[in-house]
Structure 1
Amino acid sequence: NPMWTKVRNTQKLDSNGEPLDRYDAIVDEQTHEVLWPSRHSWEDLMALQAGYREDGKLHLFYSEWRCQIVGSEEQLFKPEYMMYYKGKVEVDSFGKAYLHITHMGDRDDKGKLTELDPPDVRPVSLFMGVDPASSVKESSAWSVVMTVAVDVHRNIFILHRLSDPILPPDVRPV
């Protein structure tokens, strides 16, 4: 397939000279050559880029369409935002969930958590997100199932996370 040969020849290579599985939608900015012209023309991509820029999310365009790593200054979840905790969720007889935080610490604590006495008890809403990694290709992203608790101040507490390279045929209901 001549298009596949062209794609392989435009890819960056890994340390073994093998093509990386990353495709930039824009092959050559000077000539306005795009990866898949019948699907996304140069003009289409420039309009998309302008929309992302207008929304203040240009980094997403580069991440999603150009396969270019987002700089740490543009990360949505920065390491300094992270807090660490130990605790458990309890649900009362009315179905209201509460997070009982028994230990808390931040990144600078180097993994040491401070015991809270009494525990910090917060009403929370519970959510579950699922990213099934629906491709059956070996190189597909990992499947993720995550449950979180969110308090009234929009603090997000990760309760449970399962992330594995589980291919869809292997996923079974529990």
Structure 2
Amino acid sequence: MAITHLKGEEVNLLGNEVNVSDQAPIVKVVGQDLNEFEIGGAKDVIQVLVVVPSLDTPVCAAETRKFNEEAARLTNVEISVVSLDLPFAMGRFCTTEGIENINVGSDFRNKDLTNAYGLLIENGPLAGIAARAVFVIDTNGIVVYKELCEEITKEPDYDTVMKEIEKLI
């Protein structure tokens, strides 16, 4: 799939495109402690999957802080922010920024998540990293909301994401 994604430059995304009403693929990502955890599929909680290129950028950092703040007021909702950063860098970021209310994971080992959700950038200067996207997954494991940010340097529509979450609570 091709999208306009980097300051007007068209890039291609690799992997299996996941859309609203699809079953959310179950994948494992690596946590800050180097242990894996699962994302996707049916769970007892609403899942919010936030995929960012790197926590070491101002937009990704702001987005992660925003979702961490929102998670503090939500019940029965599990928010996971995933990037291709190394777990050590994620840990440093979370400690420095006080990120405590969300799961932070890395897809660096096998790129299972970015391939399963169709978010791996194939070409251009950011080839090999993740596109910016948000998925809301209901307790049955069905994707009920998807936002693939058309421009990687822009944050997602937080208001719409929160409205979609609140519909499920």
TM-score strictly above 0.5:
no
The TM-score bracket by the shorter chain reads under 0.3
- Larger relative contact order, structure 1 or 2 (CA cutoff 8 Å, min sep 6): 2
Please give the TM-score of this superposition, normalised by the length of structure 2: 0.21
Structure number with the higher strand fraction is 1
Please give the TM-score of this superposition, normalised by the length of structure 1: 0.20
